[in-house]
Amino acid sequence: MPREKLRTPALRDQVLRAAVAMLADQGVAGFTTRKVAESATTSPSAIYEMFKDKEGLVREVFYEGFRMLRWRLDQREHSAEPRMDLIALFAEFRLFVRENPELAKLMFSRPFVEFSPGPEERKAGDSARNRFVAAVRRCVDAGELAGDETDIARVLLALAQGLALQETGGWLGTTRASADRRWQLAFDMILGGSAPRLTGTECSV
């Protein structure tokens, strides 16, 4: 089969899909421009033309990870219970990391020496992060959480990222039940700490 040589949006998407799949299948150690080119039925020179170098290709995979995450988060519809919606959103985040562990490492732990995200790359997470901020804001408006929605969302995301990466590394236990229990414990503790505090005669233990 002849290799596609024209620089087209279709070829670019094809290469990007191949790169995401290659990262998932072979991890950071097995991710090379040559292998991605072979998988996409094109040439390394075509990839260099479209993405400049390996760093450029990895950067686009990084962006694609956040596009994929935002798409999944957007499938979650609002209900009449903001707190449950927030928890469901983080459950979706957990599932995304569990299904895409190598991609999540690229997004959150920077495993490629060729790629060090700068300010522009860090903005890639804003669209996904804003989804969590909006969910926290609904909880604050409903009186279920108290505090700045951006602060709370960032802390919850930091917690979720750490838990998810620990889970994929096998550090949250050897069974799904133990990992589930520890996720629930972590969120119960932190959401409890962000709940509105009663004062005066309304305060009870």
Q: Hey, what amino acid is at 177?
A: A
Q: How high is the mean pLDDT of the chain? A: 88
Provide the residue ranges of all domains of the chain, joining segments of one domain with +.
Answer: 1-51, 61-195
Mention every residue, 6+ apart, whose C-beta is less than 8 A from residue 102. Answer: 23, 24, 27, 28
Domains 1-51 and 61-195 belong to one CATH topology: no
What would the CATH number be for the domain defined by 1-51? 1.10.10.60
Percent of the chain with pLDDT over 90: 72
pLDDT band at 68 (very low <50, low <70, confident <90, very high): very high
What gap in Å lies between CA 136 and CA 83, rounded to an integer?
A: 8
pLDDT band at 205 (very low <50, low <70, confident <90, very high): very low
Over range 159-186, report the average pLDDT: 94
What gap in Å lies between CA 95 and CA 179, rounded to an integer?
A: 12
Q: Which CATH number fits domain 61-195: 3.40.50.720, 1.10.357.10, 1.20.1260.10, 3.40.390.30?
A: 1.10.357.10
pLDDT band at 110 (very low <50, low <70, confident <90, very high): confident
Over range 112-116, report the average pLDDT: 74
The pLDDT tens digits of the residues spanning 134-158 come to 999 999 999 999 999 999 999 999 9
pLDDT band at 183 (very low <50, low <70, confident <90, very high): very high
Tell me how crowded residue 42 is: count the other CB atoms within 10 A of its CB.
23
156 HSE (CA, 13 A, CB side):
34
